[in-house]
Amino acid sequence: MLILNFIILIAMIMVAAFFVASEFALVKIRISRLEQLKNEGVKNAELAFQVTHHLDAYLSASQLGVTLTGLVIGWVGEGSVADLLHPLIVNLPFGNTAARTISITLGFIIVIYVDVVMGELLPKSYSIVQTEKVVLAIVKPLHYFYKLMYPFIWLLNHSAARLGKLIGIPLVTEGEEILTQDELLLVAVESYRSGEITKEEYDYLENVFEFEDTLAREIQIDRTAMEVLESDETVEEAIQHSLEQGHTRYPVIRKSKDDIVGYVTLSNLIKASFQDKNQILDQLVEEPIIVLASTPIQYLLTLMRKNGKHIAILKDEYGGTSGMVTMEDILEELVGDIRDETDLENSFINKKDDGSYIISVN
């Protein structure tokens, strides 16, 4: 009989470990990860995905399992261990009654110790480390237990819901997965530290999070650094200026940088030069996007894409020109430094000894 009781005790501790692991794994698993596994056709992933959308019910099933196994462990284990210890203690000079009391006390302590270590702490730690593996392993037997004990679980859930409503405590109905921007960034930091993502991938994620908070004035080319063309310059003069400076887009001004009439591109200047290289820029300018310097670059990027423009003029609160922003400036906030032909040591515009230029169009 004693051997049978110990077999039951070991079995109940294993069952308790199953329910404890189930509870922690279901709380920790990410729904998005389960959805991905479900789409990949991983075994039990679809059932696990459904279970996380009825989390309160299945957590109740796990808690009911832990409670029931705990009762059996206490009922079987304490007496069995006490019976095993009593013959060893009864020979000590305590008397039979004291020996029985000591045996029961030690039996209680030993059973509690084994149950906490083997039935709670180890499965809890394992389920936290191997969450995905545990969820996929336990979900089917837990589902069967839930179906079997449904009347009791229904009663427990409704009782808890009514009591919670009475005292103002809401109950969880499904896995919580909404993370704030700061929490997502912390996840990215931990992923980078653990080697799950590279430094470049982490930098990109960080740039994405900061992107919506960045204003145009923070990335602008200041008005003092802006290279501009005069509206009364000829196409030939403008091309010469462009070849010397190495830029492909220029704001066009009349009297000052506060009086910008538009912008021109090098490609349009070259096309115009084949028709009339002496025509003035005032006839070729394109209308720029003009926004306040306080405009978020996320909105500005959308505006530039919508209008097919690669340059925007920024105005300060007094109506003067604050600076300019190019499409490249905005994209560099997301992906980092973009090096094009004009950034290379050997520029795509090369001046020959005779004063002519070679322009690479590769």
Largest CA distance in the chain: 121
pLDDT in tens, 235-256: 899 888 888 887 888 899 888 8
The pTM (predicted TM-score) of the whole model is 0.53
Question: Could you write out the DSSP letters of every residue in 219-277?
Answer: H-EEGGG---EETT-BHHHHHHHHHHHT-SEEEEESSSTTSEEEEEEHHHHHHHHHH-T
Per-residue pLDDT of the chain (362 residues; tens, 9 = 90+): 678 878 888 899 999 999 999 999 998 888 888 888 888 888 988 999 988 888 888 888 999 999 999 888 888 877 777 777 666 676 666 666 777 787 778 878 888 888 889 888 999 999 988 999 999 999 999 999 999 999 988 888 888 878 878 887 766 554 455 566 777 778 788 888 888 888 888 888 888 888 888 999 999 999 889 888 988 889 899 888 888 887 888 899 888 898 898 898 888 889 888 888 888 888 888 888 999 999 999 999 999 999 988 899 999 988 899 999 998 889 888 877 766 555 544 455 565 666 565 665 54
Token pair 């690669």: residue? 310
Q: What is the pLDDT at residue 359?
A: 61
CATH superfamily assigned to domain 216-359: CBS-domain (3.10.580.10)
Grouping H, G, I as helix, E, B as strand and the rest as coil, residue 353 is coil
Neighbours of 354 (CB within 10 A): 5
Cβ–Cβ under 8 Å, residues 45 and 34? yes
Token pair 């794994």: residue? 25
Cβ–Cβ under 8 Å, residues 115 and 153? no
Cβ–Cβ under 8 Å, residues 18 and 70? no
Grouping H, G, I as helix, E, B as strand and the rest as coil, residue 312 is strand
Neighbours of 335 (CB within 10 A): 12
Grouping H, G, I as helix, E, B as strand and the rest as coil, residue 318 is coil
Q: What are phi and psi of 92, to 5 degrees?
A: -80, 155
Angle at 66 between CA 2 and CA 28, to 5 degrees: 140
Instruction: Give 251's strand partners.
Output: 263
Q: Name the DSSP class of 338.
A: -
The two counts, helices (H) then strands (E), for the chain are 16, 9
Amino acid letter, 208: V
Q: What is the pLDDT at residue 354?
A: 63
Separation between Cα atoms, residue 335 and residue 161, nearest integer Å: 49
pLDDT in tens, 77-115: 777 777 776 666 766 666 667 777 877 788 788 888 888
Amino acid letter, 290: I
Question: Could you write out the DSSP letters of every residue in 92-137?
Answer: STT-HHHHHHHHHHHHHHHHHHHHHIIIIIHHHHHHHHTHHHHHHH
| Domain residue spans of the chain | 2-167, 181-211, 216-359
Question: Could you write out the DSSP letters of every residue in 167-223?
Answer: HT-PPP-S------HHHHHHHHHHHHHTTSS-HHHHHHHHHHHHHTT-BHHHH-EEG
Which helix (H) or strand (E) segment holds residue 59: the answer is: helix 55-72
